[in-house]
């Protein structure tokens, strides 16, 4: 027995080959990392992957790739759209890289790529009003542009899914679609008047809109695309409420640099609509840091202190606020609130974010945890099982973390670059998804 144990101890560990690595890449990486994909780095062929093995190992170990950072290891919530690598998958990639990225006989690539999903050709199709050509920059740079689109919605309906079709995928990094009530009074002007002013002040198509949609107050974010599959679908039998006469605003994040050579971009959207859905979703955006006066926060307190590695801003939202908004959208009283998803938002100083659900009894549960915030990879996260809120006295607590260590003066809130936000889009419904 002792001799056998010694022999087993001396036996070399099984080496992970590319055959074990390929399924992980196919499931989590090649949606973006393929020829013609969002990333210029292809991870389809073995030789390409082998060359980047150390960088892949470092990225997955740090959980910066895949770049959708909501924690989905079971310690918080499960999400339908979380690209979360298991510890076993990370060990496979890291172990393969540390072993020298060995090949596997007969395995030269990751295998057949999953088919690219598309919405039916008879779906509603809209596009940017005109082509936009970003100017080359001396250094790599990010540019955010907004474009107003009239979708021609004539009757109340719901949006089920959106397909993003970039005109030039080499420069379109991500996009977001918002619903805007043109008649909403913002004080000095309406949303429609604000669009006209911003378009007139900018000689290029659309207007510059880092961090949001400029001076507008959107009713809701309808969808967002951050690479990978072009189709962004809501949970089964769900839909985002749409209203007649609303405008849509498409925000696009362009990535440009000195080598940028483009004939321009005119991104199209293909949208799946329905008259109704078993679960109608209403999106409610809250950010007491940016909209301090509306939230009753003293303006003098709406700032982040400079020179801190972990500056924080925390706020609580009574569920009653979401309840009232949902009842206004539904036109009827709601007995129970279903939180079906959340979309957090900060800018480039953000480092982490937590959302906790505080019940009237004092119990606290995790609603969302992001340990490695990345402004370039924001998304909305839809729960595998909605959070059911039975009491209007329930509170939602949000804590945003920032690194202001390189700032020498306070950081103030706002949509512009250099300012910060601490917002969450709450996706709520009056009912759970029907069982199938």
Report all structural domains of the chain as residue ranges with CATH numbers, in order of start. Answer: 2-98 (no CATH), 124-277 (2.60.120), 280-429 (2.60.120.230)
- Which tokens in the block code for residue 128? 């940017």
What's the pLDDT score for residue 8?
42
Beta bridge partners of 399: 314, 354
Which CA distances in Å does 195 have to 145, 189, 376? 13, 10, 25
CB atoms within 10 A of CB 314: 13
What's the pLDDT score for residue 93?
96
Burial class (CB in 10 A: 0-12, 13-18, 19+), 416: middle
What's the pLDDT score for residue 391?
95
Beta bridge partners of 272: 161
* pLDDT single digits (tens) 151-173: 999 999 999 999 999 999 888 88
What's the pLDDT score for residue 1?
41
Residue pair 250/149 in contact (Cβ under 8 Å)? The answer is yes
In whole angstroms, what is the distance from residue 378 CA to residue 226 CA? 7
Q: What is the 3-state secondary structure (H, E, C) of the chain?
A: CHHHHHHHHHCCCCCCCHHHHHHHHHHHCCCCCCCCCCCCCCCCEHHHHHHCHHHHHHHHHCCCCCCCCECCCCCCCCECCCCCCCHHHHHHHHHHHHCCCCCECCECECCCCCCCCCCCCCCEEEECCCCECCCCCCCCEEEEEEEEECCCCCCCEEEEEEEEECCCCCCEEEEEEEEECCCCECCCCEHHHHHHHHHHHCCCCCEECCCCCCCCCCCEEEEEECCCCCEEECCCCEEEEECCCCEEEEEEEEEECCCCCCCCECCEEEEEEECCCCEEEEEEEECCCCCHHHHCCCHHHCCECCCCCCEEEEEEEEHHHHHHHHHHHHCCCCCCEEEEEEEEECCCCEEEEEEEEECCCCCEEEEEEECCCCHHHCCCEEEEEEEEECCCCCEEEEEEEECCCCCCCCECECCCCCCECCEEEEEEECCCCCCC
What's the pLDDT score for residue 9?
45
What's the pLDDT score for residue 14?
56
Q: Which residues of the chain have pLDDT under 70?
A: 1-14, 228, 432-436
Task: Residue 283: name the closest of 366, 367, 179 by CA.
Answer: 179
CA dihedral 189, 190, 195, 197 (to 10 degrees): -20
What's the pLDDT score for residue 408?
96
In whole angstroms, what is the distance from residue 67 CA to residue 29 CA? 10
């Amino acid at each position: 027995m002792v001799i056998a144990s010694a022999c087993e101890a001396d036996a070399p560990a099984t080496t992970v080959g590319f055959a074990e690595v390929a399924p992980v890449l196919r499931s989590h990486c090649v949606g973006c990392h393929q020829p013609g994909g969002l990333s210029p780095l292809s991870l389809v062929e073995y030789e390409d992957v082998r060359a980047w093995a150390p960088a892949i190992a470092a990225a997955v170990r740090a959980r910066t790739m895949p770049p959708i950072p909501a924690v989905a290891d079971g310690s918080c919530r499960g999400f339908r759209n979380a690209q979360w690598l298991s510890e076993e998958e990370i060990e496979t990639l890291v172990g393969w890289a540390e072993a020298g990225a060995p090949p596997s006989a007969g395995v030269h690539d990751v295998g057949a790529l999953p088919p690219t999903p598309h919405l039916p050709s008879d779906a509603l199709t809209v596009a940017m009003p005109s082509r936009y050509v970003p100017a080359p920059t001396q250094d790599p740079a990010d540019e955010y542009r907004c474009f107003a689109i009239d979708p021609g919605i004539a009757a109340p309906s719901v949006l089920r899914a959106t397909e993003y079709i970039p005109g030039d995928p080499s420069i379109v990094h991500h996009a977001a679609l918002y619903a805007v009530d043109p008649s909403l009074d913002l004080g000095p002007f309406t949303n429609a008047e604000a669009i006209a002013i911003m378009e007139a002040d900018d000689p290029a198509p659309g207007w510059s809109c880092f961090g949001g949609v400029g001076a507008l107050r959107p009713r809701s974010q309808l969808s967002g695309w951050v690479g990978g599959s072009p189709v962004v679908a809501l949970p089964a039998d769900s839909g985002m409420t749409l209203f007649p006469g609303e405008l849509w605003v498409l925000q696009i994040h362009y990535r440009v640099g000195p080598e940028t050579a483009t004939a321009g971009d005119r991104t199209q959207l293909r949208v799946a609509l329905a008259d109704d859905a078993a679960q109608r979703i209403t999106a409610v955006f809250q950010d007491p840091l940016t909209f301090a006066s509306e939230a009753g926060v003293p303006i003098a307190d709406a700032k982040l202190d400079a020179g801190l590695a972990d500056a924080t801003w925390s706020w609580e939202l009574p569920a009653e606020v979401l309840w009232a908004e949902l009842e206004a959208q539904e036109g009827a009283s709601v007995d129970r609130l279903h939180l079906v998803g959340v979309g957090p938002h900060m800018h480039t100083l953000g480092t982490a974010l937590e959302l906790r659900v505080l019940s009237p009894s004092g119990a606290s549960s995790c609603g969302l945890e992001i340990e490695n915030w990345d402004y370039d990879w924001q998304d909305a996260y839809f729960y595998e099982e909605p959070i059911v809120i039975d009491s209007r006295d329930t509170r939602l607590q949000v804590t945003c973390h920032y690194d202001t260590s390189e700032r020498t003066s306070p950081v103030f809130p706002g949509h512009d670059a250099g300012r910060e936000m601490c917002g969450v889009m709450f996706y709520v419904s009056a009912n759970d998804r029907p069982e199938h």
